[in-house]
Structure 1
Amino acid sequence: MGPLKTSEMPMSKSNEVLIVCEKPTACKKIAKILDENNKPKSLKKDKVTFYKAFRNGLELNIVSAIGHLYTVVKKDKSKTWDYPFWDVKWVPSHEVNKADKSKVEFIEFIKELGEKSDYCINACDYDLEGATIGYNVIKYCFGQNHVDKAARMKFSNLTEQEIINSYDNLLNSLNFNLIDAGLTRHEVDYLYGINLSTALTASTRTSDVVKFKLLSTGRVQGPTLKFILEKEKKIRNFVPTPYWKILGTIDIKGKEFEIEYEKARIDNLQEAKDVLKACRKKDGIVENIESRTMTRQPPIPFNLSSLQSEAYNHFGYTPSRTLNIAEKLYLSAHISYPRTGNQIIPDEMDVKAIITQLATLKDYKEPAEYLLKTGKIIPTKGKKTDPAHPPILPTTETPTSELKTVGEQKLYDLIVTRFLALFADPASIESYKIILGVNGNKFFLRSKKIIVPGWMDIYHYSRTKEVELPDIKIGQAFSLNLKREDKFNQGPSKFNQNSLRKKMEVNEIGTKATRASIIDKLYKRGYIIGKSIDLMDLGLSVTEVLDKNCPEITSVEMTRNLERRMDEIEEAKITREDVLLDVRGHLDPILQRMKEREEEIGNELGESVKRTWNKQRIIGKCISCDDGQLVVIRSLKTKKRFIGCTNYNICNTCLKTREECTCKCEACGQSKGTCECKEKVFVPKCDTSFPIAQKGTLTPIPGKTCAFCESEFGINYPMVQIWLPGARRPFNSCMNWVNHPKKPKKAKKVKETEINLEEEIKSGEEEIKKMKDQKKSKKIKKNKKTVKKIG
């Protein structure tokens, strides 16, 4: 695909070109850059905003596809629970998902614009998704003729220079290998996901316990859940064994320092006691001082994986949150494209221009100017490459005002300081080990001192903690304060979102762009919960059922091989049809096996679903009565849900349920359980209740209570996790949220201006004099009119 000049485009009399972008923000920015006067016309039809820009005699219609306008569905109209099926087609997404109803207007309007345009350009992100989105819009809105002559803009950031260069040097055709790989990935995921999910859900319909429960799995979800299950088993089967440590402190010139015994752990209690006994009331004599100098090389450039890890380590951001923030910074043109695996900055990239621009920012002026003065602008390199995009770097379009959110500020600082550190000198650290002898036993006192800070002065997130000691000489004696600590060896720790993402990456399942969303999906499905990930009963049951009946679905090897096969499509080694045939040959016997065991699988899943529902319903112990549990209840009258006590349905007098209550009704004299009087008053044993969100999945958080309510009211109200429909992530809420103070609205920022007090007073006096003169003038005019009238 060679470069294509816009002057070489085959045009008719209209001279109109349609440019399809992926997101509205990118669309607006590209339109402004491409317009000759940087003032494109913003036009709106119904809910669709598009832009008209003029450049080199061409009229550019620039429109956003707002993500995927087309999706995959079954080709035939077979019954919902019929499986397996293999024929699929692409249709407008609003035909499948009601939430995409607004996309109808976009499709219709893009078709209108296409009829007027001679030429189409795909300006979506240069990756699998961007290739797929742009191709589908051009193909299904305008037809194959437009696809054959369409061009491609390739850019890695949204700066003016990059976009103009991309437009002036268009790729003369779409990247069909990339398109085939993108289409195949969607179709394979659909075939796996829908067929397996249909099989699981259909099996619950045969259960005596639960008649229906929508369940899902997929080619990446299955192995990911298996990782969590295997970790859970290791944790459960781990048997802790005791060991002992000798810890101590030493006082040097009034300052206390920690020392450690020569053995990191002692497996025999008597040995630990003997060490303490031998060292009691004895001084430690400095026998030797060992020192060594270590050199720490600067870090390598960020790719998405390393950025997600650093953001989790330093800010606690989940992988999906990091990606979302990075996406906003990219759309603001402050950083390059974030979904990259590259760790090597291309030689042709003008990094000096980026550093020069960063020197204009107050926070980065000093390190940037220092790097420019050295004249050695050579970055470090990693091992991973990505031909489509460079590593994640700041751009020459630096923020002109404060970034909108704290998340954006933190992530931008992380990216900028990391980038500047790539060009800095190595750091030099001197470490010391002072060996103290006490009655035949040895203790170590360690210290670290940064001799040359180098890059660590810039990228402060990785700065080594220093422990500086006063001057110590061999032969000096110091009194020791020693103690024995009883310990148990720690078992494997649970996954968090970042460590699970790393596990997926190491095992080559999912892509750098999809791993975070797959983990989010497992939370939404109610399969996992918590920051330290716990496998819910439902997740456990689905994984065990799949592992028992079709172990290939939870196999890492199967998913990894499929990922590699799809990568080979992009490299033009195999065709899309080859992969789809492989998928059918692999998946069909598995689904037939599941169909044969449908009832058995349904009963296993049914029990698990029931246990999960019961667990999710119970929030915790009632804070008002002794024997009640707080549960999610749905009102028979209003049909709304709320959190209430299990004794809410028990009569306070006869201690029977509402339906069985034997107390006499005040209106008719019959028992309240059988009478239908509207006037009857039912007094519950406990009427404790709390309002909750009416939509979304509500999950109790075991052992977690509200710190605010504990300090304010002295009551440990349980916390719940709520995941609202369409939300990107869940949020934690106290069930007593109605009694929490409302968050104050953020005050609007007022621009600060310098005020000259003398000038302001003088100006004020002049204004007052002017007003008095005007008033006087009005009085004179009024008097003249009166005199004239009298005369």
Structure 2
Amino acid sequence: MGVTVLMVAEKPSLAGSIAQILSNGKSHYRRGAMDVHEFDGSFKGQMARFKMTSVIGHVYSVDFHSKFNNWDKTDPNELFQAQIVKQESNPKAHVADHLSREAKGVDYLVLWLDCDREGENICFEVMDCTVRNMRPAAAQNPAQHILRARFSAITAPEIRAAMGSLGVPNEAEALSVDARQELDLRVGVAFTRFQTRYFQGKYGNLDASVVSYGPCQTPTLNFCVERHQAIVSFQPEPFWVVRPHVSKASSKLDLEWDRGRLFDQEIATVYATMVREAKRLRVVDVTEKEERRHRPSGLNTVELLKVASAALGIGPAQAMSTAERLYTQGYLSYPRTESSAYPPNSDLTATCALLQRHPLYGDFASSLLAKGTINTPAGGTNAGDHPPITPCASASEAEIGGGDAWRLYDYVVRHFLGTVSPDAVFKKTKACFQAAGEVFYAHGAMAQKPGFTAIMPWRAIQSEPLPKLVEGEYLDIKEVELHQGKTSAPDYLTEAELIGQMEKHGIGTDASIPTHINNIVERNYVKIESGRRVVPTELGITLIRGYQLIDPELCKPQVRAHVEQQIGLVAANKADKSSVVLHTLQQFQAKFLFFVAKIGRADALFEASFSPLSSSGKPLSKCGKCRRFMKLISSRPTRLFW
């Protein structure tokens, strides 16, 4: 008599793909709340009946007990200690009941959830639904009967290797997600409820249904507002640059003044006159040297999001969603990774060989393999989570489906091939000139070996050679220009720059960064303008300025970075989850009470930008109770006021 093995993946499509691989294409499925793929095989040396099904992300979410959900009857301060409950994330899907039914009488549970902290947390949610219905041995000896598969790509070798090296789920990482969920719920909802009721009760044209606060969302907005404040407070300052115009062999030389720029016109004029009177520039030194532009490191999530926004015009939320779909379809490896260095056991040659027959990349991949020039980048960081993002299959634009999916896939393939290509080599020339004691430089470059830039042409060195120059020769000065310019204000942050700031300061994770940016857009705190620049709205600016007046730490990244550090200690099993949550909540509750007491400091800011309720809206009808005329306020949230 054999054993029964229940296996659970994170998405229905993954369940189907994994079942097809492990059954050698012989699985069949039956319909249910989630499809169940069944096949026979062996497990731990015994005949086995496998059932492969899935969840659809988190089975449960956390929320306050229903008695705390009435905004009018609950003081937001109570939410720091209020009872919270876990409830089904998608009650209509009946995932918990489905898992419970499928677990009846099974001998083993194999968890195929995504291999990150969120995935570990979902492992324990699945266990909550299943273990009680499994055979008694599972509860008595969970380390032998409840197993965890770890993988980074939906390919046959990877899936079979994971099946052959099953481990156990990581409870510490799961608890770290519980800690983050509880902290974000309590802190975010307490502040959000208070400031929403306060500001909507006083101002009529906020154009926001909820004036939300988020421990990650608000520091993200703060980066955008700080840049806006730098722009509006910027005072341009005039400067002057001496620019002699010379040429050699019909080539005009673009000269750089050693002094850069001067902010005193009279002194700059003296230097310009001296150079003009010299009439000639003398070549005092010419140096040539070979330099390299190093091939890129492996591609991690943050870099992919930055490139998608800056070069492909794809917003981070859309880019993440698209990359995850390409992963579940087997085209890319797991797209949520902090690592930019390939682990020592990576078979880069095999990945390159996948692309040999591709109409676009095949010739390049074949040339690398033929020359034996598969290189591993020296740089990058191995964060110990997943390897960098790489292609897992060769696919045409038609197979991918075109659009954003194809452009993202195309970039990942080119980036991967770039990482295993030789460095680009170029010759750099630097010429030094003097006139009246003033020093000027000219620079030239000439590509020698394209290396990785042959597949990533946007990274290529532009060949701009200098004409032949000989040390000691003189060049006639045709004109000396005293160029006047002005210092310019910085531009608004682009999405790519914002992502970089969030990564640098530890705001969010590689997977949650797109969500936080999307939230401040949906809350009408920022708008995405041309060039994917993130421009704060009046509401976003006023809100951050209010925090800056009351308690600047509420919007500074250092506070959230500290929280993430504490959560990381929980994940590493170096800190107790309950102690971290309690300590952090005590700190935020003290800040909340101070914020409530000092909220009046923000009123002057809001009064300057938004109209009071008394002067907002249009008369609509009389109140049936007090008989006073009510006004309809049509801006978000639509409401009646009297």
- Tell me the TM-score normalized by structure 2: 0.83
2:39 to 53, 62, 68: 53
1:27 aligns with 2:12: no
Deviation at 1:448, TM superposition (A): 0.3
Q: How far apart, in 1, do the equivalents of 2:261 and 2:6 lie?
A: 70
Deviation at 1:113, TM superposition (A): 2.0
Q: Which residue number in structure 1 is paired with residue 120 of structure 2? A: 131
Letter in 1 for 2:148: R
Q: How far apart, in 2, do the equivalents of 1:415 and 1:76 lie?
A: 46
Change (3 A) 1:537 1:14: farther
1:165 aligns with 2:154: no
1:367-766 correspondence runs (5 A): 367-375=364-372, 377-395=374-392, 397-399=393-395, 402=398, 403-436=400-433, 443-474=440-471, 475=473, 477=475, 480=478, 483-530=481-528, 531-597=532-598, 600=600, 603=603, 607=607, 610=610
Change (3 A) 1:381 1:391: farther
The SS at the match of 2:507 is: coil
Change (3 A) 1:611 1:153: farther
Q: How far apart, in 2, do the equivalents of 1:276 and 1:404 lie?
A: 60
Change (3 A) 1:382 1:160: same
2:214 to 214, 218, 221: 218
Deviation at 1:518, TM superposition (A): 0.6
1:176 to 171, 175, 179: 171
Q: Which residue number in structure 2 is paired with residue 721 of structure 1? A: none
Letter in 2 for 1:512: D
Ranked by relative contact order (alpha carbons within 8 Å, sequence separation 6 or more), the top structure is 2
Change (3 A) 1:529 1:208: closer
Q: How far apart, in 2, do the equivalents of 1:29 and 1:251 lie?
A: 65
1:90-489 correspondence runs (5 A): 90-93=85-88, 100=90, 102-103=92-93, 105-115=94-104, 117-140=106-129, 143=132, 148=142, 149-171=145-167, 173-204=168-199, 206-207=201-202, 214-247=210-243, 250-254=246-250, 256-273=252-269, 279=276, 282=279, 286-375=283-372, 377-395=374-392, 397-399=393-395, 402=398, 403-436=400-433, 443-474=440-471, 475=473, 477=475, 480=478, 483-489=481-487
Deviation at 1:473, TM superposition (A): 3.9
Larger displacement relative to structure 2 (159-168 or 77-86): 77-86
Q: How far apart, in 1, do the equivalents of 2:123 and 2:106 lie?
A: 16
Q: How far apart, in 2, do the equivalents of 1:612 and 1:364 lie?
A: 62
| CA offset digits 1:319-358 (Å, max 9, x no partner) | 3333233223222222221211112212222222112222
| CA offset digits 1:269-314 (Å, max 9, x no partner) | 3455556665389565545423233233322212222233334443
- Tell me the TM-score normalized by structure 1: 0.68
Task: Tell me if the contact between 2:290 and 2:427 (Cα under 8 Å) persists in the aligned partners.
Answer: yes
Q: Which residue number in structure 2 is paired with residue 17 of structure 1? A: 5
Task: Tell me if the contact between 1:159 and 1:333 (Cα under 8 Å) persists in the aligned partners.
Answer: yes
The SS at the match of 2:154 is: coil
Task: Tell me if the contact between 1:206 and 1:602 (Cα under 8 Å) persists in the aligned partners.
Answer: no
Q: How far apart, in 2, do the equivalents of 1:595 and 1:292 lie?
A: 64
Where do 5+ consecutive residues of structure 2 fail to align? 621-633, 638-642
Q: How far apart, in 1, do the equivalents of 2:413 and 2:164 lie?
A: 29
Q: How far apart, in 2, do the equivalents of 1:609 and 1:26 lie?
A: 50
Task: Tell me if the contact between 1:244 and 1:267 (Cα under 8 Å) persists in the aligned partners.
Answer: yes
Q: How far apart, in 2, do the equivalents of 1:695 and 1:267 lie?
A: 49
The SS at the match of 1:77 is: helix
Task: Tell me if the contact between 1:314 and 1:461 (Cα under 8 Å) persists in the aligned partners.
Answer: no
Change (3 A) 1:583 1:75: farther
Task: Tell me if the contact between 2:88 and 2:96 (Cα under 8 Å) persists in the aligned partners.
Answer: no
Deviation at 1:163, TM superposition (A): 0.9
| CA offset digits 1:648-670 (Å, max 9, x no partner) | xxxxxxxxxxxxxxxxxxxxxxx
Q: Which residue number in structure 2 is paired with residue 97 of structure 1? A: none
Larger radius of gyration: 1
Q: How far apart, in 1, do the equivalents of 2:127 and 2:609 lie?
A: 44
Q: How far apart, in 2, do the equivalents of 1:91 and 1:275 lie?
A: 74
| CA offset digits 1:148-203 (Å, max 9, x no partner) | 442111101111111122123221x3211111112212112111211221221232
Letter in 1 for 2:104: E
Change (3 A) 1:116 1:412: same
Q: How far apart, in 2, do the equivalents of 1:258 and 1:536 lie?
A: 42
Letter in 1 for 2:519: K
| CA offset digits 1:568-624 (Å, max 9, x no partner) | 1111111211112112221222233344456x37856864783599xxx9xxxxxxx
Change (3 A) 1:239 1:329: same
Task: Tell me if the contact between 1:209 and 1:607 (Cα under 8 Å) persists in the aligned partners.
Answer: no
Task: Tell me if the contact between 1:204 and 1:213 (Cα under 8 Å) persists in the aligned partners.
Answer: no
| CA offset digits 1:424-453 (Å, max 9, x no partner) | 333332222334555665544321012233
The SS at the match of 1:317 is: coil
**Percent sequence identity over matched residues?**
21
| CA offset digits 1:403-442 (Å, max 9, x no partner) | 2224333333332333233333333322223345556655
1:82 aligns with 2:78: no
Q: How far apart, in 2, do the equivalents of 1:400 and 1:612 lie?
A: 58
Q: How far apart, in 2, do the equivalents of 1:89 and 1:167 lie?
A: 37
Q: How far apart, in 2, do the equivalents of 1:170 and 1:695 lie?
A: 55
Letter in 2 for 1:496: T
Change (3 A) 1:15 1:547: same
Q: How far apart, in 1, do the equivalents of 2:220 and 2:612 lie?
A: 20
Task: Tell me if the contact between 1:300 and 1:343 (Cα under 8 Å) persists in the aligned partners.
Answer: yes
The SS at the match of 2:394 is: coil
Task: Tell me if the contact between 1:189 and 1:219 (Cα under 8 Å) persists in the aligned partners.
Answer: yes
Task: Tell me if the contact between 2:210 and 2:523 (Cα under 8 Å) persists in the aligned partners.
Answer: no
Deviation at 1:564, TM superposition (A): 0.8
| CA offset digits 1:468-498 (Å, max 9, x no partner) | 2443445264564654432111233322212
Task: Tell me if the contact between 1:249 and 1:482 (Cα under 8 Å) persists in the aligned partners.
Answer: yes
Q: Which residue number in structure 2 is paired with residue 62 of structure 1? A: 52
Larger displacement relative to structure 2 (401-410 or 251-260): 251-260
Q: How far apart, in 2, do the equivalents of 1:695 and 1:68 lie?
A: 35
The SS at the match of 2:385 is: coil
The SS at the match of 2:51 is: strand
Letter in 1 for 2:610: K
Change (3 A) 1:440 1:602: closer
Where do 5+ consecutive residues of structure 1 fail to align? 1-12, 95-99, 618-632, 637-693, 698-791
